[in-house]
Each structure stands twice: as structure tokens, then as C-alpha cells.
């Protein structure tokens, strides 16, 4: 089975940009991706675009053709919506289409405009990724839902808020040299523990910010890359997708993420690697507890061991398996429709030596990108490796 080449990547800065429209953001990311790739726009066979809340934040549906126009592409365009896993799902479909020969070049990515809604408006918009009938109408928001998951984890496997604080500190530290990150400032454990409580046991620094931003990837088939002599240093060699029940009260587990486990197992099998082969990973840390659940679900750490991994230095930049060298959602930011594609972009730059943190993993050849939707009712996992050619 042929690999899919990452020919070019583009990511806007993530942050508070309420004056920027979604189409402006995606146009900026696309320009960077095309310039990075050397692929002409007229060779693009399709645009696969991730976006979650466009109807609410911009009163705009049918965004596929709109974003194709913004990117300067004349090709069939489809919008993907899977909550915070929207562009991760789009990337997965792009990989499958390129592999099966349906297309040779796909522009894939996503964007989200959030801060123009304000905190209350964005929180309400995000909440519709939960079960409206049984969760949203009862007043559940995602900080509350992840707090329930954190408490369930503590009850079942142990741990405390200070363990989570080390995750936030680590990811802020990783974001310091990343000029695309929303928060380029260091914090310490005391900052996290003394911050206002959002939903016990989680505080302000346990949560990712509201963000505006976009990401774009130019993906090609292996044959196209070879025929056009593209300098694509990184390939997507594995893809997987998993799902779980929507509402927390319907699930078998609160302290595990079966959707991520299923996606990870599929991606490992697809690529022919195992967890021990992973040099580093970008995982979906919308809340600090989410990083714990992700690294355990991906078998990077045993169940019950992920909670102390950052505190013990195992997931730090100089640890055995660095996690979220970009700063993660926690510090880089989380414009939800763009996040999955931006993770692929960050991993690509890290593996190809083009990231400010590449020197921390200069011998790395294999990495993971894990993208989750809602309380991980949806998940995608991609394996990226340094290309043979």
C-alpha cells in the first residue's frame, strides 16, 4: 500500500482575532501550504475542509466551495464536521482517497472563528458537540464534563490536581519558541493550582483557550510526488478512526477513551508500527486530563501511569516520549475546526527539521497525531514517518 506524502503545510497564528473571517484565515493558511509544497493550485483534485461552528459564529453553512474559492482552488469541495475532530476526519478521508487512486492531490485543512462570539457564546456553541437532550439541557458544558472524567480517573487510578498541573506547565514551556502559539509564556505549578476553579478539580490553567485560526495541508499520492520530484520529507503511513457513545452516562468508561484506543490500534496496524516505535506525539489536550486519557489510550503509557508522566519527566521535551512539543491545544490554541490538520502540520515540521523544537527530536523518524471530538465520542489517529525517498 502506497504512503501519502505531506507536500506542504500552512498554519496561521492561533489566538484572539475576532476581526478575521474564516475565509481570510483559511486563505492565509492555504497560501503558506502551497508555497511550502511547490504544487500548483490547478493540480488539486479536491478540497476537504473541517469546520464545526460556522453556522453559529459566522451564520455560514455550505463552507466547502466558499473555502475553495478563498484558497484559489477550482475543485469539488466538501465540509467535514465531527466537532473538534473535524479536520482530523477530513485528513483521514484524504489519505484513503489518495491511496485508492481516486485523487492525486488534495488540499485538506480547517478553520474556526470563535472569539467573536465571546466566552459565553463560544461556550454555548461548543456545548452542542454534547448530547443536547440529556447533557446540554441539564446544564453540562465541556469543562464540567471533563471534570467528571478527571474525578472518575482519580477515583479509579489515583492522582491529584498537581499531577495535571505539570501537564499544563510542560505544554506552556513547549510553546515558548512556537511563534504560531496563542500563549508564549511560561507558567509554574503554583500558577495552575492557584488559578480560579472552573469545574472541580479543573482550574483555569487546565483548559485550552478559545482560539481563531486555520491550518492547511497539501497531500499527494506517492506516484505524484515521485513524478513531480517533490521534496516531501514526511509521509502519512497510518490512519485510524474510532467512536463512542455521545453522552457520558451511556458509556462503559469515564476514565478511558475507547474511541481513541480503537483509532490508535487501527492506525498502528495500518502503518505496521507499534507504540514502542513512536518517538513523540501531538495529542488532543483540550483539558489537561484529556492528555492523560490520550497517551494511555494510544498505549504510549500503561493505564494508570499517564497521570504522573509529565510530573516524572517522561513526556517532557527531554523525556522518553515527548508529548505536545507544539504546546498542544493547551498553549498553542484550539480553533476547533483547524486543530486536527494543525497537529499534522506541527508533526510534519518537527520531523522535517523545520520547527523551532525540531532539535529536541532531531533523531526522530515516527510520530503520532491524535485528534478528538467532544468528550472523545469521535477520534482520529495518524502515523507520520520520515519518507524513504
Q: Which residues are CB-contacts of 364 (< 8 A; sequence separation ≥ 6)?
A: 279, 280, 350, 351, 386
Computed on alpha carbons and rounded to an integer, the radius of gyration of the chain in Å comes to 19
CB-based contact 94:6 (threshold 8 Å):
no
- Alpha-carbon distance of 165 to 288, in angstroms, equals 8
CB atoms near residue 254 (< 10 Å): 19
The residue assigned the cell 502519512 is: 236
CB-based contact 30:37 (threshold 8 Å):
no
- Taking CA 332 as the corner, what is the angle to CA 253 and CA 79, rounded to the nearest 5 degrees? 70
- Alpha-carbon distance of 333 to 240, in angstroms, equals 24
Q: Which residues are CB-contacts of 204 (< 8 A; sequence separation ≥ 6)?
A: 195, 196, 197, 198
Catalytic residue (choose from 161, 334, 355, 382): 334
Name the grid cell of 262: 480503537
Query: What are the residue ranges of helices labelled H in 277-335?
Result: 288-297, 328-332
Measured CA to CA in angstroms, residue 314 lies from 311, 318, 369 at distances of 8, 8, 18
Continuous segment of H or E residues that includes residue 386 = strand 378-386
118 backbone φψ class: left, alpha, beta (φ>0; ψ -120 to 50): left
Whether 334 is a known active-site residue: answer yes
CB atoms near residue 168 (< 10 Å): 30
- Taking CA 109 as the corner, what is the angle to CA 12 and CA 295, rounded to the nearest 5 degrees? 90
Measured CA to CA in angstroms, residue 108 lies from 113, 194, 241 at distances of 18, 40, 17
CB-based contact 367:278 (threshold 8 Å):
yes
CB-based contact 285:174 (threshold 8 Å):
no
Residues with catalytic function: 84, 334
Amino acid at each position: 500500500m502506497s504512503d501519502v506524502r505531506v507536500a506542504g503545510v500552512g498554519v496561521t497564528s492561533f489566538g484572539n482575532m475576532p476581526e478575521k473571517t474564516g475565509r481570510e484565515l483559511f486563505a492565509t493558511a492555504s497560501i503558506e501550504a502551497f508555497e511550502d509544497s511547490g504544487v500548483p493550485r490547478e493540480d488539486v483534485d479536491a478540497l476537504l475542509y473541517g469546520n464545526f461552528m460556522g453556522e453559529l459564529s459566522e451564520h455560514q453553512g455550505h463552507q466547502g466551495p466558499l473555502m475553495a474559492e478563498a484558497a484559489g482552488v477550482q475543485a469539488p469541495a466538501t465540509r467535514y464536521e465531527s466537532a473538534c475532530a473535524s479536520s482530523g476526519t477530513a485528513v483521514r478521508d484524504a489519505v484513503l482517497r489518495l491511496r485508492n487512486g481516486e485523487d492525486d492531490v488534495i488540499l485538506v485543512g480547517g478553520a474556526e472563528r470563535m472569539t467573536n462570539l465571546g466566552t459565553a457564546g463560544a461556550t454555548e456553541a461548543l456545548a452542542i458537540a454534547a448530547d443536547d437532550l440529556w447533557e446540554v439541557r441539564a446544564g453540562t458544558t465541556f469543562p464540567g464534563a471533563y471534570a467528571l472524567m478527571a474525578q472518575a480517573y482519580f477515583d479509579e487510578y489515583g492522582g491529584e490536581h498537581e499531577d495535571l498541573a505539570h501537564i499544563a506547565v510542560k505544554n506552556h514551556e513547549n510553546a515558548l519558541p512556537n511563534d504560531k502559539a496563542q500563549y508564549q509564556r511560561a507558567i509554574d505549578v503554583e500558577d495552575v493550582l492557584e488559578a480560579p476553579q472552573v469545574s472541580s478539580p479543573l482550574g483555569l490553567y487546565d483548559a485550552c483557550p478559545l482560539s481563531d485560526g486555520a491550518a492547511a495541508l497539501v497531500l499527494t499520492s506517492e506516484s505524484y510526488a515521485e513524478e513531480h520530484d517533490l521534496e516531501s520529507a514526511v509521509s502519512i503511513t497510518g490512519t485510524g478512526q474510532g467512536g463512542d457513545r455521545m453522552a457520558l452516562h451511556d458509556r462503559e468508561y469515564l476514565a478511558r477513551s475507547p474511541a481513541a484506543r480503537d483509532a490508535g490500534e487501527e492506525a498502528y496496524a495500518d502503518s505496521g508500527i507499534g507504540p514502542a516505535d513512536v518517538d513523540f506525539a501531538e495529542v488532543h489536550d483540550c483539558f489537561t486530563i484529556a492528555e492523560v486519557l490520550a497517551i494511555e489510550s494510544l498505549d504510549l503509557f500503561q493505564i494508570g501511569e499517564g497521570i504522573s508522566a509529565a510530573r516524572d519527566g517522561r513526556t517532557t521535551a527531554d523525556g522518553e516520549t515527548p508529548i505536545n512539543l507544539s504546546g498542544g491545544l493547551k498553549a498553542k490554541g484550539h480553533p476547533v475546526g483547524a486543530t486536527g490538520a494543525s497537529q499534522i502540520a506541527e508533526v510534519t515540521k518537527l520531523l522535517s527539521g523545520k520547527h523551532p523544537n525540531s532539535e529536541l527530536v532531531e533523531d526522530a523518524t515516527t510520530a503520532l497525531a491524535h485528534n478528538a471530538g467532544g468528550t472523545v465520542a469521535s477520534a482520529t489517529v495518524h502515523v507520520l514517518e520520515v519518507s524513504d525517498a
